[in-house]
Amino acid sequence: MSFIEIAFLNLTQDREVFNSHWPVIANKLAHPNPGITAASQGSILFYKNHQNKNARTEFTNVVIIEWESQSKFQDFLKSDQVKDFQQAMKAIANGPPMLELYNGDQHIPTDFCSKEVAQIVRVAVPSTDDYRNLRDIWRESGLAVLSGTSSNDKENLFVGVLFWDGPEEQSKPANVFDRLASVGEVSSFVVQTDRISLL
């Protein structure tokens, strides 16, 4: 099992401002390492709703983090380090983030940070039986990296994460999306990723 944080960030569109501040912000997040085993951030290339149509979203960036445990994440939230990180984020934030926390079925693979694109697939889960169906569909696809269920959202969500070598590959799971959509409402973010260095 793994504990995954996906933070959707509403950040400045000024790339020069972002690029000048982000190295300092990333350093405050990961150094000293508060218990992160893998981390990447990136810009959202596009968002699709369950009907596979492009839709607007106020979020422009995503940070994907795997924590050693949920307790490590909770300790970080109570630390002085997170206060320094939040203070630094004010320089590029246009609004509050949206955090999604998931209990994953496996750890993020070691080659995750070498991939150029991450695709985050979310499905609203009507019932426990539906979750089992979603998990089976996801695993049968042969594309799955990891999956899990939400631990902090009032709406039950199934999440699946895929990693691609380039944006053009994200069209591969189209038939899988159709099968997932037969169970619950599907949305996905496609993100150009960049590794966050850890000590």
Instruction: Give 191's pLDDT tier (boundaries 50, 70, 90).
Output: confident
Residue 6 belongs to what H/E stretch? strand 2-9
d(CA 123, CA 174): 14
What single letter denotes the amino acid at residue 26? A
pLDDT for 138: 84
Q: Give the highest mean pLDDT range of 4-8, 141-145, 162-166, 195-199.
A: 4-8
Convert the pLDDT of each residue in 42-66 to its tens digit: 888 888 775 555 555 667 899 999 9
Convert the pLDDT of each residue in 61-104 to its tens digit: 999 999 999 999 999 999 999 999 999 999 999 999 989 898 88
d(CA 132, CA 125): 10
Among the listed ranges 86-90, 113-117, 155-159, which one has the minimum average pLDDT value? Answer: 113-117
**Token reading at 18:** 């972002």
pLDDT for 172: 64
Q: Which residue has the higher pLDDT, 143 or 37?
A: 37
Mean pLDDT of all residues in 155-179: 76
Mean pLDDT of all residues in 36-43: 90
pLDDT for 173: 65
Q: Which residue has the higher pLDDT, 29 or 120?
A: 29
Q: What percent of the chain has pLDDT over 70?
A: 84
pLDDT for 35: 96
pLDDT for 34: 96
d(CA 77, CA 190): 27
- CA-based R_g, the chain, Å: 16
- Residue 29, pLDDT > 70, answer yes
Mean pLDDT of all residues in 4-29: 93
Query: Mean pLDDT score of the chain, rounded to an integer?
Result: 84
Tell me the fold of 2-195.
Alpha-Beta Plaits (3.30.70)
What single letter denotes the amino acid at residue 127? S
d(CA 196, CA 164): 17
Q: Where are the domains of the chain?
A: 2-195
DSSP, res 114:
G
